[in-house]
Structure 1
């Protein structure tokens, strides 16, 4: 009687499946490890380095290394060095009324304009004491400088309901040497005036 040889464990089907699973697991783990080490990004080193250096550099993220960025933040408004707000002296009486319409000067500011002129902005409150809507617009105001009458820049055009108030800004572009100006407020029955004095800082 011939001697039976023991079956090899690798020759059985379960053994083959177990070996294949072990190989697949080992290869997968190896690929994952190589991916985490960045070995598969070897074809894109320049792009990765550029983005990393841009994110890590404070100068690149804030724009401080660019000469134009610092210049724009140091002098907002106009491009000149004399861009600080000028002083505007208002009269003691700032409320003007005719019939049911009343205007009050709330504030005034002036600064050199980019064109070399002066931009004067008046903040006014219009109060409608009547029953019907009232047009609150820039055509109501004029500014006299050296005998010349200036109209405001377009922009203000509002409706003020009856028995209510609304505020708005009126902007004038004036010659650079303007120091004294006379504000004219036109009513249906006539007009009122207010003397303004502009002083450089």
Structure 2
């Protein structure tokens, strides 16, 4: 060695040695975490949750305790006042609809529509932005993800989805196209 100095007692040697130690400790921590050594609390929480659920089930089935009655989810068939709408070069036809209970307080209204673009010049959008549902007088946007481009002289079917409260009294379906708002009242007939 030149000058008779040991590499490990020089500043670059000490920094290199410390870096090697830090890298080794980090690698050990990552490896131990990978085998689950540091995630014991998650397992404990899972066991605790399962135990609480079992205790709740046992308490619910105790003699003398009555179960709370489940509220029935009513089923309705939406009936539209008109099913074919023409606005300039655009034509909408309601192919069908359903109102399904999600919870006792909420329903999902699905309206299947065939859209026809009769334009000679350009494609048109067939998307959620063209539809709204007035629930007891308040306009709401669709909750689905309808978003299509329909070429000129072509047609496409899609479904518009809305969330409707179970206590809704009045529903009106709106189609917005070419600056016009076509309102179509609908009634819910019990199945």
- Settle same-fold status: TM greater than 0.5: yes
Structure 1 equivalent of residue 110 of structure 2: 121
1:136 matched to 2:159? The reply is: no
Structure-1-length-normalised TM-score: 0.55
Mapped to 2, the partners of 1:125 and 1:88 lie a distance apart of 17
Mapped to 2, the partners of 1:142 and 1:164 lie a distance apart of 24
**Deviations 1:33-87, CA, capped at 9 Å, x for gaps:** xxxxxxxxxxxxxxxxxxxxxxxxxxxxxxxxxxxxxxxxxxxxxxx77457421
* Shift in Å, 1:147: 1.5
1:173 matched to 2:163? The reply is: yes
Match of 1:182 among 167, 172, 181: 172
1:111 matched to 2:115? The reply is: no
Distance change (3 Å), C-alpha of 1:102 and 1:82: same
Greater C-alpha radius of gyration:
1
* Shift in Å, 1:108: 1.0
The alignment partner of 2:142 has SS state of coil
Structure 1 equivalent of residue 35 of structure 2: none
Mapped to 2, the partners of 1:154 and 1:121 lie a distance apart of 9
1:153 matched to 2:139? The reply is: no
The alignment partner of 1:177 has SS state of coil
Q: Which residues of structure 1 form unaligned runs of 5+? A: 1-79
The alignment partner of 1:113 has SS state of strand
Mapped to 2, the partners of 1:83 and 1:161 lie a distance apart of 41
* Shift in Å, 1:200: 3.5
Structure 2 equivalent of residue 94 of structure 1: 83
Whether contact under 8 Å (2:131, 2:173) holds in the other structure is yes
Bigger proportion of residues as strand: 2
* Shift in Å, 1:165: 0.6
Distance change (3 Å), C-alpha of 1:115 and 1:137: farther
Whether contact under 8 Å (2:89, 2:119) holds in the other structure is yes
* Shift in Å, 1:104: 1.2
Q: Name segments (4+ residues, structure 1) moved above 6 Å.
A: none
